[in-house]
């Protein structure tokens, strides 16, 4: 089972989640794909994620997290003992999200949502100072990320499998090029169905 957690102001309509969902469908494995719309509240986002995978054994679960979703994925992987793929993950979102307190909209919708100051306090509860088993993690980080510093990601996931993209951007515009290694890390044969 793959649980995909999108980033702040993102949604299941993000380019990365749509590419992964389409590939899972092409492989006949749509039933092993989950990508919920996460609430603005970190506490509620984590509760939703936990509820979706409560019956999935850790060895059968992989969480893919992008940006803030990577922050959540790391905490969840530490709690559940599963593997995780991190795509330009947030390491210290408390600092980065302070500027977003207030009402805003998602990138793929005009629907307003409120990111409250209390949500920053909630984020503190999901901090992971260091991952316990780096071999359970796969980091994809772009040196050209205009939102987050890839060097913080590389240091935080030291010892994990890492692919560093020279250039690119926060959204990893060329993510289609990385579908195969991501799904292979998830234990999915990407050649099936071809």
pLDDT digits (tens, 9 = 90+) for 45-72: 999 999 999 999 999 999 999 999 999 9
d(CA 185, CA 36): 21
Decide if pLDDT at 32 tops 90. yes
Decide if pLDDT at 105 tops 70. no
pTM of the model: 0.90
pLDDT at 95: 59
E strands of the chain, at which residues?
A: 2-5, 33-34, 62-66, 83-87, 102-105, 112-115, 137-142, 161-165
- Quote the tokens at residue 191: 């050649």
């Amino acid at each position: 089972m793959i649980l995909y957690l999108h980033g702040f102001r993102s949604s299941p309509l993000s380019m990365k989640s749509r590419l992964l969902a389409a590939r899972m469908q092409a492989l006949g494995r749509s039933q092993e794909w989950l990508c919920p719309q996460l609430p603005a509240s970190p506490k509620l986002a984590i509760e939703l994620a936990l509820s979706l995978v409560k019956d999935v054994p850790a060895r059968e679960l992989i969480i893919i997290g992008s940006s803030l979703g990577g922050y959540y994925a790391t905490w969840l992987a530490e709690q559940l003992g599963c593997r995780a793929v991190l795509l330009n993950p947030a390491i210290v979102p408390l600092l980065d999200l302070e500027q977003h307190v207030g009402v805003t909209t998602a990138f793929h919708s005009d629907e307003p949502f409120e990111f409250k100051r209390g949500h920053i306090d909630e984020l503190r509860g999901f901090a992971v100072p260091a991952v316990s088993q780096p071999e359970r993690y796969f980091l994809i980080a772009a040196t050209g990320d205009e939102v987050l510093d890839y060097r913080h990601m590389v240091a935080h996931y030291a010892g994990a499998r890492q692919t560093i993209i020279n250039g690119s951007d926060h959204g990893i515009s060329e993510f289609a090029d990385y579908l195969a290694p991501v799904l292979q890390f998830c234990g999915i044969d990407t050649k099936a169905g071809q």
